[in-house]
Amino acid sequence: MRDGSAASAASAASAAAAAFPVRSTERREDLPTGRRMKIGFFGTPDFAAASLARLFEDGYETVFAVTQPDKPAGRGNRLTPPPVKLLAQMKTEVYQPQSLRGPETVRLIRGKAPDVIVVVAYGKLLPPEILGIPPLGCVNIHASLLPKYRGAAPIQRAILAGETATGVTSMYMAEELDAGDVILRRETGIGETETSGGLFARLAVLGAETLSETLRRIADGTAPRVPQDGSEATYAPPIAKSEAAIDASGTVRRVLCHIRGMNPKPAATLDAAGETYKVFSAEASDLSVAAPFADSRGLHIPCADGAVLIREVQPPNGRLMSAADRFRGRAL
């Protein structure tokens, strides 16, 4: 590794450590009196890194962390490690297999002899060969109140659907996606102006707290095991860029939920003045307009039951800016 790359990696690792501080490197003596568990961890984004940091803080012996391979990111398209790798490599062994089904990967995980495997937003299903390894089971932290919003995008889908509450669920993993027996559910409200990015950050903290309690319950033998009602299941598939466009034929609330749910990625989009803009900030307008109209406050867009005032936009290849500055005086 060249000096510049090494410095960049060290800086990124320091940033990850600051974002998810580990207060102690020693095993706590006030852990449950039950079995001293060895933990294997699977996870990838910031949401998962918060739970991994809590494992370190609680003093569990985390014998390995499995995360997705490094991927190109940013304008320079540089190979970038996932947040879990940046945090985990300071504390335990890190593996980034292309596939979990290879015999070498299964042998490696079995050789680490984890008592429990924890999975948080890893990005792939664990095959049966791995699910059967830990004697105390594989535990998943999912960002919804299961069985609602099974799948890859529960946070965004909850906001897009206009939900006023959501939460996190810990469960024993099964082969079917997000269908395992529930251990704990923890609910929280969704703010009227809360974005997916803001809710993501809050649920990452709640998920880490729920994981900590879940492992304590498993260790002392008091973890419940409640089957899900599959008839109540709903699904949260990944967000596609094709879904980003604002549909102004809907209600004001629906349009605002769309903008919040798409923020920060992929961001809601709006066609105006011959260009496609990303929209990051909006509110209900107090004007009644029959066509798009810009004033000193922003861009007013007519909807089915009123109008939405768009405050901030990002033009193609441009920076975030005031909608008023962009559109006032322009033909719409």
State how far the Cα of 102 lies from the Cα of 99, in Å rounded to an integer.
6
Domain limits, the chain: 35-232, 241-327
In 3D space, the residue among 240, 258, 263 whose CA is nearest the CA of residue 248 turns out to be 258
Backbone φ, ψ for residue 322 (5° rounding): -65, 135
pLDDT at 331: 73
Nearest to 281 by CA among 249, 314, 307, 312: 312
Supply 68's token pair.
């997705």
pLDDT at 9: 36
**Residue 161 CA: distances (Å) to CA of 118, 149, 177, 235:** 29, 11, 21, 12
Rounded to the nearest 10 degrees, how much is the dihedral formed by the CA atoms of 320, 152, 148, 242? 50
β-pair partners for 117 = 40, 138
C-alpha span between 262 and 85 (Å, rounded):
26
Among the four given CATH numbers 3.40.50.170, 3.40.47.10, 2.60.120.10, 2.60.40.10, the one describing domain 35-232? 3.40.50.170
The string of pLDDT tens digits covering residues 56-106 is 999 999 999 999 999 998 778 899 999 999 999 999 999 999 999 999 999
CB 11: neighbour CB atoms within 10 A?
10
- DSSP helix/strand/coil, 168: strand
Strands 182-189 and 165-172, how do they pair?
Answer: antiparallel
Give me the residue label for tokens 């251990």.
183
CA distance 200 to 156: 9
Judge whether 314 and 321 are in contact, CB under 8 Å: yes
Q: Report whether 210 contacts 186 (CB < 8 A).
A: yes
46-58 and 3-19 helices cross at what angle (nearest 10)?
70
In whole angstroms, give the CA distance from residue 290 to residue 3.
Answer: 59
Residue-wise pLDDT for 111-124, tens only, equals: 999 999 999 999 99
DSSP annotation of 31 reads: S
| Regions of the chain where pLDDT drops below 50 | 1-35
d(C-alpha 259, C-alpha 254), whole Å:
9
Instruction: Scan for tokens 């810009």, then name that residue.
Output: 294
Residue 16 and residue 87 in contact, taking contact as beta carbons nearer than 8 Å: yes
Nearest-angstrom CA–CA distance, 175 and 6: 40
Measured CA to CA in angstroms, residue 18 lies from 14, 94, 206 at distances of 6, 19, 18
Supply angle C-alpha 168, 170, 175, rounded to 5: 120
The CATH number of the structural domain formed by 241-327 is: 3.10.25.10
Q: What is the pLDDT of residue 6?
A: 35
Cβ contact 237:152 at 8 Å:
yes
Per DSSP, the three-state class of 230 is helix
pLDDT value of residue 27: 40
Query: Position 87: which residue type?
Result: L
Query: What pLDDT does residue 312 have?
Result: 97
The overall pTM is greater than 0.85: yes
At residue 257, the pLDDT reads 98
Confidence at residue 187, expressed as pLDDT on a 0 to 100 scale: 98
Cα-trace Rg, the chain? 22
